[in-house]
Amino acid sequence: MRKVFYIMTSLTVSALFFINTGMAEEVIGLTDSGHIPFWLIAGPFDQSTTGFGQAGDESFINESEIAPFEGKREKSSLSENGEVRWQIQSACNDGYLDFNPGIGHVKPGSSPEKLWYARDAYASAELFCEREMNVRLLVGSNSRMKIWLNGAEIYTSDRERGATADQDTIAANLLKGENRLLVRVGNSHNNLIVDWFGGTPWGWGFYLKIVNADLTIPEGIQVRIPIKNKNYSYDLQSTFFFKKKG
């Protein structure tokens, strides 16, 4: 049965580009509010801990050089078969990218699963810019967060927190042509404790918005998702919501 993936955005239908390496690309612009409408995500990964359960800073991929594509495999001890794959996921209407629907686990104890104390996930976006730009990234996360741009680490936060939009501002330089944005977000049992005791759930994900220095939305930025061989049975289409349809 053919499946159709819908990408949440008010922009025009995305175009599909094939390149000589056997790869294809889905292409679309930023949303009207400056958010990246869809990402490649991978996880979960079992993060190490130190001391009294403080989450570590272990890397699970070559963060400075990786070029992920849909279906690319990565090793993960939290997966039943020992590996996870990069997959496409859209952001919510407000720009929040929620890891839980695609790669999140249920609360420990509610079903058989591998135990973890801290876990991480990655999100990757390939941006194509018509010109060089000095922009601002407005981010928020739950909880720990690191960002790499074109292989260089440009931001880190070790805070355990609930995510709200625009918690932090990062100055970034986008090159003319291709730019790779990689985000790693981790949470721990501290995120779940808030929920267990009746507080507002912290969740697992992040906000990221691209703006100019004057907070206007930059023009001339495309988001591209590399797809290996496009040998699957679904298409990406632009609409106001995201769902799988059988």
Tens-place pLDDT, residues 199-216: 556 789 999 999 999 999
What confidence score (pLDDT) does residue 172 get?
99
Distance CA(70)–CA(228), nearest Å, equals 6
Q: Which of 3-17, 182-196, 214-228 shows the highest mean pLDDT?
A: 214-228
What integer is the mean pLDDT of 231-244?
36
Q: Between 138 and 108, name the one with better pLDDT.
A: 138
Residues present in the chain in total: 246
What confidence score (pLDDT) does residue 176 get?
98
Q: 3-8 and 234-239: which strand pairing?
A: parallel
Distance CA(35)–CA(182), nearest Å, equals 15
Distance CA(192)–CA(40), nearest Å, equals 25
Which residues, other chains included, contact 34 with Cβ-Cβ below 8 Å and sequence gap of 6+?
Answer: 95, 138, 209, 210, 211, 217, 218
Assess contact for 172 and 149: CB atoms under 8 A: yes
Q: What is the pLDDT of residues 129-184, one digit of tens each?
A: 999 999 999 999 998 899 999 999 999 998 888 899 999 999 999 999 999 999 99
The residues spanned by each domain of the chain are 3-105+118-245
DSSP 70: B
What confidence score (pLDDT) does residue 55 get?
58
What confidence score (pLDDT) does residue 14 get?
41
C-alpha closest to that of 62 among 194, 184, 215, 175: 184
Kindly indicate the confidence band of residue 1, based on its pLDDT and cuts at 50, 70 and 90.
Answer: very low
Q: What is the pLDDT of residues 50-89, one digit of tens each?
A: 655 565 566 778 899 999 999 999 998 887 788 999 999 9
Continuous H helices in the chain: 100-103, 189-196
DSSP 218: P
Q: Which of 61-65, 110-114, 200-204, 219-223 shows the highest mean pLDDT?
A: 219-223
Distance CA(129)–CA(202), nearest Å, equals 34
CA atoms within 13 A on the CB side of 99: 31
**Which CATH fold would you assign to the domain 3-105+118-245?**
Jelly Rolls (2.60.120)
